Copies of this chain bind each other. A is one copy, B any other.
């Protein structure tokens, strides 16, 4: 391979990559999974749903039936938009959060990650701005980076995205002549912040976006996992023409099937189908039929209730353990649903620098920096309670508190152990979250 530049690099293809590829680096969370997956480590790092409560015996029988009865359909190509019966069922699910939609406006995707990727593909040119909560979902940041969109983070508090901060961010972007394409938001049981957008803020957020001519992309994988069975009106239900909605079966049924969806205004839906066609031709037919049969024949609402109860028990375990063990000066959010608690540690402690020491102490978490597009979040960490047992969660928090104590001792003795900036103009502090 001829090297066409003077640079020395082990990759002979280096000069060939697209500009977007330069920004592709392994997410911190991904790098973490490898170490954190050793059995002696209590992982509070991942976002894997706990599937133990799934009825494997009946799923097994149902899968057998599906192939025997409908195998030639299940194993064949389907349409890029997804099979109609599943799209109808998806509309029934969305109705639980107040959405009135037509199956024709639903596109089935390979997980809602693909939905995110397709939405970014059709809307974002390089340099376009996406507004997102700070912190935000790491996979969304990955998709935005892949299309060279610039992320501007907006602050949250215990009631979710702060309308005034959104207004300011939009005004500032307009003033700077930047093109804002959409607000990306996770209104319910936020990943990683663990907070929920207050119902009384929803109309205001939507009005601000309309006012500024900015689309809203609502990502809602956890909406049905409210621990008291509570649901909130989807943003989509309040403004059908200006909201693109992303849904997923990963947290309410099975993540390994990779079945998610996008609900979009009609014209946008048409573009999404075309984009999806060039991305994967069609989502796997088998997986769509598995989900469709499951919805038709199982008590799927009962199953979600069981999931919710499992997660609530774990949420209770983590909150009481944090209360019991964490050193003074730490604060954290108190989720009413979903998978995550967002912890802020005292000034001087760098959660990214601390992580290797935590893993040595047999506990893992996700450091806050992964959830910002620009390295902010070094005083934060995400601890997830979705997967381990309550006992393991308590033990993990005990270990984590021990690591933090030692780290804080170091800081008291030697001053700040990290030299990172802890704030910046586009990085509103999530301390309030």
Chain A residues packing against B (C-beta within 8 Å): 1-2, 4, 10-14, 16-21, 24-27, 30, 48-49, 51-52, 54, 56-57, 59-61, 63-68, 71-78, 80, 110-111, 113-114, 117, 121-125, 128, 139, 142-143, 145-147, 181, 210, 213, 215, 241-242, 250, 254-258, 265, 267-268, 271, 274-275, 277-287, 290
Task: Evaluate contact between A30 and B277: CB separation under 8 angstroms.
Answer: yes
Task: Evaluate contact between B283 and A258: CB separation under 8 angstroms.
Answer: yes
Partner of A286, one of B21, B51, B122, B257: B257
- The complex places the Cα of A49 from the Cα of B281 at a distance, in Å, of 14
In the complex, what residues of B have CB within 8 A of residue A52's CB? 72
Task: Evaluate contact between A267 and B71: CB separation under 8 angstroms.
Answer: no
Partner of A258, one of B10, B49, B139, B284: B284
In the complex, what residues of B have CB within 8 A of residue A10's CB? 267
- The complex places the Cα of A426 from the Cα of B266 at a distance, in Å, of 37
Task: Evaluate contact between B56 and A68: CB separation under 8 angstroms.
Answer: yes
| A117-B278, A122-B21 known; A12 vs B61 contact (CB < 8 Å) | no
Task: Evaluate contact between A60 and B54: CB separation under 8 angstroms.
Answer: no
Additional A-B contacts beyond A18-B121, A18-B128, A113-B281 (5; CB < 8 A): A12-B267, A16-B215, A30-B277, A51-B75, A63-B63
6 smallest CB-CB distances across A and B, nearest first, come from A11-B267, A64-B64, A75-B254, A142-B278, A256-B285, A60-B67
12 A-B contact pairs sorted by A residue (CB < 8 Å) = A10-B267, A16-B123, A25-B274, A30-B80, A76-B254, A77-B250, A77-B256, A117-B278, A139-B277, A256-B285, A258-B282, A286-B287
Task: Evaluate contact between B143 and A271: CB separation under 8 angstroms.
Answer: no
Task: Evaluate contact between B68 and A1: CB separation under 8 angstroms.
Answer: no
Partner of A21, one of B74, B256, B271: B271
Task: Evaluate contact between A117 and B254: CB separation under 8 angstroms.
Answer: no
Task: Evaluate contact between A113 and B280: CB separation under 8 angstroms.
Answer: yes
CB distance from A17 to the nearest CB of B (A): 6
| A258-B284, A267-B10, A286-B287 known; A71 vs B48 contact (CB < 8 Å) | no
A143: nearest chain-B partner, CB-CB: B278
Task: Evaluate contact between A123 and B267: CB separation under 8 angstroms.
Answer: no
Task: Evaluate contact between A18 and B63: CB separation under 8 angstroms.
Answer: no
- The complex places the Cα of A122 from the Cα of B57 at a distance, in Å, of 42
In the complex, what residues of B have CB within 8 A of residue A49's CB? 76
CB distance from A191 to the nearest CB of B (A): 13
Task: Evaluate contact between B111 and A241: CB separation under 8 angstroms.
Answer: no
Task: Evaluate contact between A111 and B280: CB separation under 8 angstroms.
Answer: yes
- The complex places the Cα of A4 from the Cα of B19 at a distance, in Å, of 30
- The complex places the Cα of A395 from the Cα of B17 at a distance, in Å, of 49
Most-contacted residue by chain B among A1, A64, A72 (CB, 10 A)? A64
CB distance from A350 to the nearest CB of B (A): 25
- The complex places the Cα of A76 from the Cα of B213 at a distance, in Å, of 39
In the complex, what residues of B have CB within 8 A of residue A18's CB? 121-125, 128, 147
Task: Evaluate contact between B60 and A241: CB separation under 8 angstroms.
Answer: no
- The complex places the Cα of A49 from the Cα of B274 at a distance, in Å, of 22
In the complex, what residues of B have CB within 8 A of residue A250's CB? 77
CB distance from A48 to the nearest CB of B (A): 6
Task: Evaluate contact between B286 and A242: CB separation under 8 angstroms.
Answer: no
Task: Evaluate contact between B256 and A12: CB separation under 8 angstroms.
Answer: no
Partner of A75, one of B114, B146, B255: B255
In the complex, what residues of B have CB within 8 A of residue A242's CB? 1
A13: nearest chain-B partner, CB-CB: B268
CB distance from A63 to the nearest CB of B (A): 5
Task: Evaluate contact between A76 and B123: CB separation under 8 angstroms.
Answer: no
Task: Evaluate contact between A24 and B57: CB separation under 8 angstroms.
Answer: no
Most-contacted residue by chain B among A27, A74, A77, A254 (CB, 10 A)? A77
Partner of A277, one of B66, B123, B142: B142
